[in-house]
Every structure is written in C-alpha cells, then in structure tokens.
C-alpha cells in the first residue's frame, strides 16, 4: 500500500504577502462568525507587527512564550485561554517560528477534541476536524508550516512526540520572506540547518521515496547556495530559505543519526532543536564525512560559532540520559547505520561524542 499524502492546500508566497492575511481571515469570519485567534511569537511584543494584523473586536491576540520548546502542559494552558474567550474560533493564525506554529497546530486540534494535549501525542489519534488554521512563518527551516506534526515535550513522561495526523496540517500558508529579516544571524543558521539536516539525512538513508528524494535534493542544494554564499541573509537568500523550508517540510521521510543525537541534547540539556542538530553534526564526521565538512565550512563562512565544552563534566546520570535519549530512536539510527546500529554506536562511543561537543 502506498501512503496517501496530504499537503497544505493553499499558499501565498512573496515579499509583503502578509498584507493578504486580512482577506483570508475575512472569508473565515463570513463562514462561521466566531472570533479569530492570533498566536504571535513573543519576540513581536511591542513591535509594529501587531498593528499590521487584521485584529477585530472579539478576537484574541496571544503572545506565545517560546523560551522553552512547546510542552503538553503549556498547550493545555493556551487551549484553556482560547476556550475561555469564546466557543471554537473561526480561524487560528500562527505568526512565528516552529515553536509558535506547532503551538497553533496543537491548540487548533484541542479546540474540537476533548481531553489534554498528551492524549494526542502519537499517530492518528486526533478524531475530529480541528479549527481552520493559517501559518505565517517568521523564521524558516523547521518545515512546520507544511508538516503533519507538532512536536511537544511531555515533561512528566520524558517524551518528545508530536500529534501526527492529517488534521495537524495547516489549511493555508502565507510565506512573506521579509518577516524573517529580524531573525538573529545565528538563529537563522540554526533553524535553516534543520532543513539541511533533515533532507540530507533522508537522502543518505535506506528508507526512500522518490518524491521525497526530489524535494530533499532541491532543498539541500538551496541550503548550500544560501549558507555558502557571502551573506546568508541577503534578500534573495531570505526567499530561498523560505522555499527550502517549505520543500523540506514536504519531504517527510525518516531521518538519520543527527536527529537522534540532537534529541539526546534536548532531553538531557533542554537544548533547542536547531542548535542541537548543529552540535550533533560536529561529532559525526565519520558517519557523514561530506556533510560534516560542508557544514563546518558553512559555519566559518557565516561566522557563526558553536562554543565547545557543552557536555563536559556532567554527572553519570546526565550521560545516561544523553545516551538513552539518543539510542531510543532506532528507526532513524538504523536508516543510516543498519539494524546493528548499536554495534557501531556502543554506549562509550556515544558518550565520547557528546564529550567532544
């Protein structure tokens, strides 16, 4: 059986495209009549973005705190806040990076499905169609704008797992590259690299799909153009990064060894996803020689530094958590290393790599 793949049905792409949000939201208001909920990355608090949004009486504008990556507990708090104001909104809009978009996806599912966020961590657990939702990325690279998941950490269960469902897919994307201009340079590279890592890991694995390969190849080549150029944040590159992220998000396949090591760092040290991927690749020179070399060159070229020693002098318990948080990802590890991946990555080897970061 071949999988029946769902994509985002509509997108608008181009400089200044945010101006079209009003028309799209207006259509939703006609359809249902309830208020609109805007989830905006907290970076934009006090900035002029809010004034550019089509907010009306009865709508809610919620600044999403993305200091930590989205947790199931925080999703429950946001869901209660949205529910408190009205019956399900006619539309939800996310303006931000992966964390804000994932929060919007999770809460839109919770508006029409009973229970808590953690009840839907897994595959195909969302039963009722969610609230209509629009993604407006202000940071590109995670592909959250078009993927079928929203990654949530469950602190109690020590679990990082999304609501994997066709219902989690946005209904509309507005890609306005200008919105990413204010992203700090290192953050732009860390999140942009998520596309690069995801796609090259897929392309170097054994589980393959021809459409995914085609999208991933193009996304990797665009990332090479961007991060090997003189200025990764030139106007052309802001555009390219948004397109690469979109294609990377559609290229959903199995990842490889970078993402498991990155997950270990997130679980043990609460490190954010993009930068954790970057640290992971720095110690995988034997597993991905070409991409490792290219990535180190990109860092140098863009003058972005990864300070060393992040896993030095940790407790035995911390090293255990790093190891367990890595080795648990057997599908991804075997995609690159085969079913005997534990022989290639015995515990001492994994810990030695973390110590080198």
Interface with Zn ion by CB under 5 A: which residues?
A: 194
Alpha-carbon distance of 313 to 331, in angstroms, equals 30
Phi, psi of 14 (to 5 degrees): 150, 160
Per-residue b/e over 189-210, b at no fewer than 16 CB within 10 Å? bbbbbbbbbbbbbbbbbeeebe
Q: Which of 71, 113, 121, 147 binds ligand NAD (CB under 6 A)?
A: 147
Is residue 93 a contact partner of residue 136, using CB atoms and an 8 Å limit? yes
Residue whose tokens read 């994994």: 350
Alpha-carbon distance of 312 to 279, in angstroms, equals 14
Q: Considering only residues 8 through 67, tell me which ones interact with ligand NAD, judged by CB under 6 A.
A: 41-43, 66
**Smallest distance from the beta carbon of 338 to ligand NAD, in angstroms?**
25
**Smallest distance from the beta carbon of 10 to Zn ion, in angstroms?**
25
Residue number closest to ligand NAD, CB atom: 98
Q: Is 142 one of the binding residues for ligand NAD (CB under 6 A)?
A: yes
Give the number of other CB atoms < 10 A from CB of residue 339.
Answer: 9
90 vs 92, beta carbon nearer ligand NAD = 92
**Smallest distance from the beta carbon of 355 to ligand NAD, in angstroms?**
25
Alpha-carbon distance of 287 to 281, in angstroms, equals 9
Alpha-carbon distance of 136 to 145, in angstroms, equals 8
Q: Which of 28, 133, 259, 273 binds ligand NAD (CB under 6 A)?
A: 273
**Smallest distance from the beta carbon of 262 to ligand NAD, in angstroms?**
10
Is residue 292 a contact partner of residue 284, using CB atoms and an 8 Å limit? yes
316 in helix, strand or coil?
Answer: helix
90 vs 160, beta carbon nearer ligand NAD = 160
Q: Is 239 one of the binding residues for ligand NAD (CB under 6 A)?
A: no
Alpha-carbon distance of 339 to 144, in angstroms, equals 29
Q: Candidates 137-145, 205-213, 215-223, 309-317 — which segment interacts with ligand NAD by CB under 6 A?
A: 137-145
Q: Is 200 one of the binding residues for ligand NAD (CB under 6 A)?
A: no
Q: Is 183 one of the binding residues for ligand NAD (CB under 6 A)?
A: yes
Please give the residue ranges that form the binding site for ligand NAD (CB under 6 A). 41-43, 66, 69-70, 96-100, 102, 138-139, 141-144, 147, 149-151, 179-180, 182-183, 187, 191, 194, 272-274
């Amino acid at each position: 059986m071949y999988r029946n793949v769902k994509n985002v049905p509509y997108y608008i792409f181009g400089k200044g495209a945010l101006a079209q949000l009003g028309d799209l939201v207006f259509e939703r208001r006609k359809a249902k009549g309830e208020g609109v909920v805007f989830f905006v990355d907290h970076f934009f608090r006090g900035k002029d973005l809010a004034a550019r949004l089509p907010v009306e009486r009865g709508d809610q504008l919620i600044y999403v705190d993305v200091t930590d990556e989205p947790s199931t507990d925080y999703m429950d708090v946001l869901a209660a806040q949205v529910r408190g104001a009205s019956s399900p909104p006619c539309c939800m809009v996310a303006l931000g990076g992966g964390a804000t978009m994932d929060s919007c996806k999770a809460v839109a599912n919770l508006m029409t499905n009973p229970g808590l966020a953690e009840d839907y961590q897994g595959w195909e657990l969302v039963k009722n169609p969610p609230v209509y939702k629009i993604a407006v990325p202000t940071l590109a690279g995670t592909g959250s704008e078009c993927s079928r998941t929203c990654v949530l950490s469950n602190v109690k269960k020590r679990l990082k797992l999304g609501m994997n469902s066709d219902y989690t897919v946005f209904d509309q994307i507005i890609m306005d590259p200008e919105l990413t201009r204010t992203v700090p340079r290192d953050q732009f590279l860390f999140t942009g690299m998520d596309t690069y890592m995801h796609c090259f890991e897929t392309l170097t694995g054994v589980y393959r799909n021809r459409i995914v390969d085609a999208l991933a190849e193009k996304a990797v080549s665009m990332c090479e153009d961007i991060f090997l150029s003189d200025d990764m944040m030139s106007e052309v590159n802001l555009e390219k990064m948004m397109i690469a992220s979109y294609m990377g998000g559609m290229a959903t396949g199995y990842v490889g060894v970078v993402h498991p090591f990155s997950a270990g760092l997130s679980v043990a040290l609460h490190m954010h996803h993009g930068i954790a991927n970057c640290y992971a690749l720095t110690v995988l020179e034997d597993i991905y020689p070409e991409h490792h070399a290219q990535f180190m060159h990109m860092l140098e070229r863009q003058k972005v530094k990864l300070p060393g020693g992040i896993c030095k002098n940790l407790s035995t318990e911390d090293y255990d958590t790093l190891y367990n948080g890595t080795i648990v990802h057997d599908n991804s590890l075997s995609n690159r290393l085969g079913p005997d991946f534990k022989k290639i990555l015995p515990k001492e080897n994994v810990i030695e790599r973390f110590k080198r970061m």
